[in-house]
Amino acid sequence: MQTVRHNINKLILLILLASILLAPTIAADYYYEANEKVDLRVPCLNGDLLCSSSAYCNITIYPYENISALADNVAMSRNGLAYFNYTLSPATTKDYGIYQAYYFCGDGADTAHAFFTFELNLNGKIPPQGNLVIFFFLAVIGVVSSIVWLIIQNIQKSRFDMDLKTFSYNLLAYFGLIIFYSFNLLYFGNLMINNLLLTFLFIGPITNVLVPGYLLWSSFLKRTIEMKQGRLQ
């Protein structure tokens, strides 16, 4: 039993460490929430002055892995004299990751070009860095390991061998999953952790709530019957 638990803990640790080591280390200039409308804006300046009314800008956008372009030399919309914008619909912002945007602008005989990067993630926020990230990953390791260990415990218990203490541990571990999932979604925005927690959140109501609840109720009924039989004797 201890060997199984030890191997599971090592596997979870390796998965989470891989998510840290393999995560993109390139910081984007801007961050947006995936599956939402994204409005990309670029300033329009000709030297120290605003562009004239005849100015134009085209934009090209493609993922950092350079797979396929989201926009290929597409004209941007004029929005006042100060800037141009290009809007990505939710249908085109489904893929998470870092994107590069190159834009070319012209104003009469003058031309200029530049680029910026943006990332589509879970919450549209800048990912945190430093010791807080390490602490969060270690905490996720702890709660997921607890869930797996409790599932194994529930499987090994007989129909009449569940106590209130173990049942409470199951509930606490599942609520811990909900807290960490919400925290990751709102603050960290790590996609791999999100998918891992979602997996256990999906199976948790059965493995850590319904099954332990049924075992606890069966154990309670067994003890009640045994107490009544003992009194009759």
For 150-173, the DSSP string reads HHHHHHHS-TT---HHHHHHHHHH
User: Which has the closest alpha carbon to 88: 62, 66, 113?
Assistant: 62
Task: Round to whole Å and give the CA distance between 98 and 27.
Answer: 9
Q: What's this model's pTM, rounded to 2 decimal places?
A: 0.71
β-strands 77-79, 83-88 pairing: antiparallel
pLDDT string in tens for the chain (233-residue length): 455 555 555 555 555 555 554 455 567 899 999 999 999 999 888 777 888 888 899 999 988 776 778 889 999 998 877 889 999 999 999 988 899 999 999 888 888 889 899 999 999 888 877 677 777 877 888 888 888 888 888 777 666 677 888 888 899 999 989 999 998 888 888 888 888 889 999 988 888 888 888 888 888 887 777 677 665 55
Largest CA distance in the chain: 106
Domain range annotation of the chain:
2-22+127-232, 35-121
Mode of pairing for the β-strands spanning 110-121 and 30-33: parallel
In CATH, the number for domain 35-121 is 2.60.40.10
